[in-house]
A and B are shown apart, each in its own frame.
Chain A
């Protein structure tokens, strides 16, 4: 009489092979799952960065237009530097630097002074013009991956 639990060797091999394949599929699935999560997280981070860049650009444009309006006829650099909206711009620190660089690349101006304050450094030599100073800052931005 054949025992109830007896299985032929070929069937055992078949079961082992199936189990191996199942494990392999599971591993591949897990790996795919991890990659997908990583990919989605990457996308979210990228989207978050884009959103933040847009946010700071928007904030900069809003504040800078107020600075211009409020100091338009003043020749005093102190009045410009002490303007409350100018101070708000510099209070964002390095996060707002790309927006400032974009602005001075398109239209060189004395808003370049915000970069002096944020980075606590002067980039130009003694007789440099506003236009030249802005160009030096744009180059600095490229070198330091701000653009």
Chain B
């Protein structure tokens, strides 16, 4: 498939990306990880609450196994994130955003990159970069419901090195 053919497939589910000037496909299709793992900077497991005993599908025991907003908030708090209201880029902070469907169940997670754009793993498909969290809202993932942020670890490490 050519990049344009892939884009057409993506546009069918995410029409908002047609007008996203920073939309680009950043990885080949890869079913080895999902969006929540990608938001948590993992690219070799699936991170999702499940009751099944399945290989490489992880979810901490201490966090409720459901797709309620609270469970994902708790998960990312365990990674050092805290709730925030502003989605725009803030120097020295890394941000993530979460989407819910009409039943208020989490459907997707996205992460802000160092250039202020956002990166999303589309299910078992491609990684994409998009300008803002809202350009992938729609029937597939619903609406963005909350954002979280933490001090940018990579920045701190660079700072330590510099000193």
Contact = CB atoms under 8 A, between A and B. Distances in A.
A73 B126 CA distance: 9
Interface string A107-147: 11111110110000011101111111100110000000000
Q: Counting chain A CB atoms within 10 Å of each CB, which of B33, B54, B57, B125 scores highest? A: B54
A132 B55 CA distance: 9
Interface string B51-72: 0111111100000000100000
Contacts of B44: 129-131
A68 interface: yes
A49 to B, nearest CB: 29
A62 B121 CA distance: 25
Contacts of A74: 107, 123-124
Interface in B117-150: 121-125, 140-141
Contact of A71 (B36, B109, B124): B124
B69 to A, nearest CB: 15
Interface residues of B, number: 31
Classify the secondary structure of B's interface with A.
loop
A12 interface: no
Contacts of B9: 72
A72 B123 contact: yes
Of A75, A78, A124, A136, most B-chain CB atoms within 10 Å = A75
A76 B107 contact: yes
A122 B36 CA distance: 22
B100 interface: no
Contacts of B31: 68, 107, 109-111, 130
A126 B57 CA distance: 9
A77 interface: yes
A116 B32 contact: no
B154 interface: no
A68 B32 contact: no
A75 B57 CA distance: 11
A132 B58 CA distance: 14
B48 A133 contact: no
Contacts of A76: 48, 67, 107
Interface of B: 9, 13, 31-36, 44-46, 48, 50, 52-58, 67, 107-109, 121-125, 140-141
Rank and list the top 5 A-B pairs by shortest CB-CB distance, nearest first.
A129-B44, A133-B55, A109-B31, A75-B34, A73-B123
